[in-house]
Structure 1
Amino acid sequence: MTKFTDNFLKQYQNTPPQVISIAMAAGIALYGMYLFDTYLAKPTGSKYNEDGITSQKPPQEVPLVPGGLPYFGHIFQLPSEIPAFKFDEWHRKYGPLIRINMGIKSWIIIGDSDIANDILRVKGAITSDRPFHLFTSQYVSLGKRGMVFADADKRWKQSRAIAQSLFGPKGVSRKVHTFKQEAEWVSEMLLKDTLENGHVNILKSLQVGTLNLIMQTFFAKRAESLDDPLAITMIDLTGTSIKLSAPDQDMPTFLPAFSALFGPWFKSNEKEMREFVHEKRDPVYWRLIREALESDEDCFVKILYELKDENELEDDDILLFVVDIIEAGTDTTAMTLSWAFVILSHYKDVQKRLHTEIDKFIAEHGRLPEYEERENFPLLISVQKECMRYRTTVPSGIPHEVTEDFEYQGYLIHKGAVLLSNTYTLNLSEALYDKPREFVPERYMLDQRTLAASVSSSASRGRDQFMFGWGRRTCPGVHMADVEMFYFWVRILATSIIEPTLDHQGQPRYPDLDSYLDGGITSAPGDPYIQIVERPDRLI
């Protein structure tokens, strides 16, 4: 049963059957009127293309996936977890550009990198807004402000420019010592916890490590352990925010007729949304901001307030800037690293080659490397990129919304349509990768570019993988993520062997690489238990 189905039934579990019947009939009738109005508004004759040349054939609708229901569309066909898997199945059946109806909302799913590049980057001026969702648009972003859920307006551009400055090479260089310290702390914690418990939950350990990195960067504050109240609070805030951002938490956006006619039985969980943001999330962040400003430590919050007047920022803009970075940067990095180490637990031979590469540098220089010396580690860079491609942390990109009608390769894409790049399909493209569903450690040995350089490529086929978004909405923290992950990789591999856990008979129990933990927009290993064992031959 899907999330939408579960939510639909919960909404109606105490509703009289006759009310449900009336509601469904009314909804279908209203949707029929909607379709009729839409049909009358569609072009019926020739149309000028972008060059002003008359096309004799009118543009067609993007192919609709079969099986949708009247009014409800394809809502009940989506799986309860990782919709990207279903999208991938549809792409293989119906093509790289497909359309589904989420109630009255039209979603266009993109499963080809060239099409994604053309629509989301080249056409970025009219494809970079965000669709409305009650929680993300009205509550979590305080009315579509901030960076993640704001439309691509002037205020958003200002915030993004600041982010690119803080998280670019110059800004990150100010905090490199923090990256090293946290990576070393996590490395030692993993060894200690494995020794004490026989295994570690790699995801939870890395969540605290990546949280600390951003918390120190912004607030000069960190959690001391997995059980630290600060870590528990911040991870809970992020998890709740992701849960409330799911589409099924705002059903009336997709099925407005039911909401308008039968609001008491069918509505969003608006009370929980409002209380979470205003009574739970915001007080915590305002306290952290105030304490950072009062401290003697150097931190990014102070820089944001220095830039406040120059960039016409309000206090809420600074609050949302911090919230967006912590929520977008903590879990995604932790999940990406978790996938990598779970994968490596299956490949001891690859680890040995990585140990040799790192040990060679340590033997020659008597220290661990800096990020700027990454050219000495072609295998490490290749394996890192392959892990990100092979098991992506972001199976489907964050939705975009179209702001003007436009034609693409004979298809008419309407204003208001939601665009979703299916990263899972793109990263497993047979047109781009040889044996895409296999883990090939050497795949990127000839592509040693930084992640930022790859994301900035003007051609889709020049990118190594597709989890950092498209066009104007590409992740502004990609350089920081690259630096951060490099230091985690180097420190853990320099000191440790990543091994599977053992069963009751003492036999290896390898993590299931096909088990996924659905995080809404993200996905983590569903089987995150491994061992981090100290290398007997470590050099440092």
Structure 2
Amino acid sequence: MALLLNALPVVVAVAIVIRLLLSGRRPKNLPPGPPTLPIIGNLHQMPTRDAHLQFEKWAREYGPVYSLILGTKTMIVLSSDKAVKDLLDKKSNMYSHRQEMYIGQTLCSGDLRILMMGYDARWRMCRKLVHSLLNVSAAKSYVPYQMLENKQMLYEMITQPERCMYNIRRYTNSLTTTMVFGWRSSTYEDEKMMQLFDGFSKFAELNQTGLAALVDFFPWLRFLPDFMLPVRATAKELHKKEKALYLGHWLKAKEETKAGTIMGCFSEDLVASQKAEGFSDDQAAYITGTLLEAGSDTTSSTLYAFVQAMILYPEVQKKAHEEIDRVVGPNRMPTMDDERDLQYIRAIVKESLRWMPTTIMGAVPHAVTQDDWYEGYLIPKNAGVVNNVWAINMDPARHPDPRRFDPDRYKDDFQSLADAAANPDASKRDQFTFGAGRRICPGIHVAERSLFLGVSRMLWAFEFSPAVGKDGKPVLPDQERLTQGFVCQPEEFPVTITPRSEARRRMVEEEWAAAQREWLDAATGQWRVSPLERKARKV
């Protein structure tokens, strides 16, 4: 017995060493993937920037379904339309979970961010509430908000064309704050709007860093003291500031709802839902805050990519101008009623989403809730599942010469974005930017209308051309230089924005002036009259 007791520590030590050596290896029944190293698996091969290019390269090398071993966790990467349809869509009851994200969800988000919640009753409740704002019927009702914000954006393209990206960001943010909270962001310099973009950028950057990822892939690191894990303090501080911002927005909307002074918006309905469901103000703050993040960042990134495409592909802009002039003419701006007759403009929207997908790696990976088998390979329970958006959108079998911006790819595609995503034929889906399955972006209907109005009206009013450098030569942006993080867009670039005629310039100015007189309070720039009801409200 004494001999056995003396040998026990050695046995335990050997077992631990064996377990560590086996960790990081790829089991034989998993999909193929790049070679691994003991303990770390493929962690040493994960790029620190432009990860989409490496993930696309692996897809061409190992096939449409491949695996990565990241420390103690397994990642399955889906890089074909068929795989996404077969798993994330058809088996969405199994593939809608999330892996545990200690830094991103627990510390940065207080376990409140819908984007990172597991597939449970709380997520389903939040999703149902969000759907009430963003379903197709609700999206149609908010078009008047989009029209007004669009008019200000066009006016700002005339008065401050050097701030193109910021004009677009204000448009999408103000639209989102109006739909969610009932108030506008009338200027990009709004302190709370700048805090939103800055905070989400820091959140994305933090969750892309190596140390944050290591804490997720090796959970035992969480037991290290704070001085050895500085990312913990950073994450907690970020959450503190973010929560204060979102909670302030929510409590103000809640107070105005109870006072009967709020504009028609999502928060007005959420107050009633809170009474019925009993969720906390903190959770309500993150439900509305999540909508604010998604609506502000993704649509603006796509519109900014569209502007870059017009600079780099002037033949597309010329063809678009011709269609708008033929269908709409010079005496009025396009409206949503023109959408069915502006198929080339619709195609530009779809091609912008394909050519520069904002959720370039599918944002946050799904996770599978039980062992599954696909095409002879095991997809193990709790594995992360990546929707490799870039690789699918850039698949030359789907889209020949994929880095060329060519709206004619969609000349015969009359589906809405949502209809295309739900098409049972995976090859008929237009693009994969909005995700898949039960985790598909619920804002797809609102985004489609914001994008159509943004693209059609900017093309009606302006010509976009390269800026001219000090040497007198055009400065062309590099379409491969993208920002990093959950949501990507082209790196900021200079652009020359020219009204297509003096008459169109005057119309943009007059339309914005008329909209201000009719709808807005002159002192505050906030809504004086609700366009949803045609009656005055005291606000």
Alignment of 1:342-357 (within 5 A): 342-357=308-323
The amino acid of 2:43's aligned partner reads: I
* Alignment deviations for residues 138-160 of structure 1 (CA, whole Å, 9 cap, x no partner): 134432x4531111212212221
SS in 2 for 1:173: helix
The amino acid of 1:291's aligned partner reads: K
5+ residue gaps, structure 1: 1-25, 43-58
1:382 pairs with 2:368: no
Match of 2:141 in 1: 174
Counterpart Cα distance in 2 of 1:227 and 1:211: 12
1:360 pairs with 2:323: no
1:191 pairs with 2:158: yes
The amino acid of 1:314's aligned partner reads: S
1:105 pairs with 2:73: yes
Check whether the contact 2:101–2:216 (CA below 8 A) recurs between aligned residues.
yes
Counterpart Cα distance in 2 of 1:282 and 1:492: 35
Match of 1:82 in 2: 50
Counterpart Cα distance in 1 of 2:351 and 2:469: 29
Match of 1:161 in 2: 128
The amino acid of 2:18's aligned partner reads: G
Shift of 1:38: 10
Counterpart Cα distance in 1 of 2:284 and 2:325: 43
Match of 1:463 in 2: 429
Change (3 A) 1:425 1:38: closer
Alignment of 1:479-494 (within 5 A): 479-494=445-460
Q: Give the aligned length.
A: 487
* Structure 2 counterpart of 1:429, from 395, 410, 418: 395
Match of 2:248 in 1: 287
The amino acid of 1:151's aligned partner reads: G
Counterpart Cα distance in 2 of 1:29 and 1:240: 41
Shift of 1:524: 1.0
Alignment of 1:322-337 (within 5 A): 322-337=288-303
* Alignment deviations for residues 155-198 of structure 1 (CA, whole Å, 9 cap, x no partner): 2122212222211232123322211111111111122113xxxx
Deviates more, 1:493-502 or 1:164-173: 164-173
Shift of 1:111: 1.1
The amino acid of 1:422's aligned partner reads: N
The amino acid of 1:481's aligned partner reads: A
* Alignment deviations for residues 374-393 of structure 1 (CA, whole Å, 9 cap, x no partner): 11101101122112112221
1:476 pairs with 2:442: yes
SS in 2 for 1:367: coil
TM-score by length of 2: 0.84
Match of 1:46 in 2: none
TM-score by length of 1: 0.84
SS in 1 for 2:478: coil
Change (3 A) 1:464 1:38: closer
Check whether the contact 1:82–1:523 (CA below 8 A) recurs between aligned residues.
no
SS in 2 for 1:125: coil
Check whether the contact 2:24–2:39 (CA below 8 A) recurs between aligned residues.
no
Match of 1:297 in 2: 262
Counterpart Cα distance in 2 of 1:245 and 1:421: 18
Counterpart Cα distance in 2 of 1:384 and 1:162: 28
Shift of 1:511: 1.1
Identity %: 26
SS in 1 for 2:401: coil
SS in 2 for 1:222: coil
Match of 1:48 in 2: none
1:63 pairs with 2:28: no
Deviates more, 1:73-82 or 1:401-410: 73-82
Shift of 1:36: 5.1
* Structure 2 counterpart of 1:152, from 98, 101, 119: 119
Counterpart Cα distance in 2 of 1:512 and 1:276: 32
Counterpart Cα distance in 1 of 2:474 and 2:22: 61
Check whether the contact 1:361–1:368 (CA below 8 A) recurs between aligned residues.
no
Match of 2:40 in 1: 72
SS in 1 for 2:93: helix
* Alignment deviations for residues 322-352 of structure 1 (CA, whole Å, 9 cap, x no partner): 1111112211111111111111112223222
Shift of 1:436: 2.5
Match of 2:208 in 1: 246
| C-alpha RMSD of the superposition | 2.6
* Alignment deviations for residues 48-83 of structure 1 (CA, whole Å, 9 cap, x no partner): xxxxxxxxxxx82211312x3221222222222121
Alignment of 1:304-323 (within 5 A): 304-323=270-289
Check whether the contact 1:134–1:250 (CA below 8 A) recurs between aligned residues.
no
Match of 1:212 in 2: 174
The amino acid of 1:443's aligned partner reads: R
Check whether the contact 1:393–1:467 (CA below 8 A) recurs between aligned residues.
yes
Counterpart Cα distance in 2 of 1:471 and 1:513: 30
The amino acid of 1:310's aligned partner reads: A
Counterpart Cα distance in 1 of 2:205 and 2:41: 23
Check whether the contact 1:27–1:257 (CA below 8 A) recurs between aligned residues.
no
* Alignment deviations for residues 405-443 of structure 1 (CA, whole Å, 9 cap, x no partner): 111111111112111121111001123223323222211
SS in 1 for 2:160: helix
Match of 1:91 in 2: 59
Counterpart Cα distance in 1 of 2:319 and 2:408: 11
Change (3 A) 1:244 1:28: farther
SS in 1 for 2:123: helix
The amino acid of 2:247's aligned partner reads: W
Counterpart Cα distance in 2 of 1:322 and 1:121: 26
1:526 pairs with 2:491: yes
Counterpart Cα distance in 2 of 1:514 and 1:524: 10
5+ residue gaps, structure 2: 1-11, 508-539
Counterpart Cα distance in 2 of 1:529 and 1:81: 23
Match of 1:15 in 2: none
Change (3 A) 1:313 1:259: closer
Change (3 A) 1:33 1:211: same
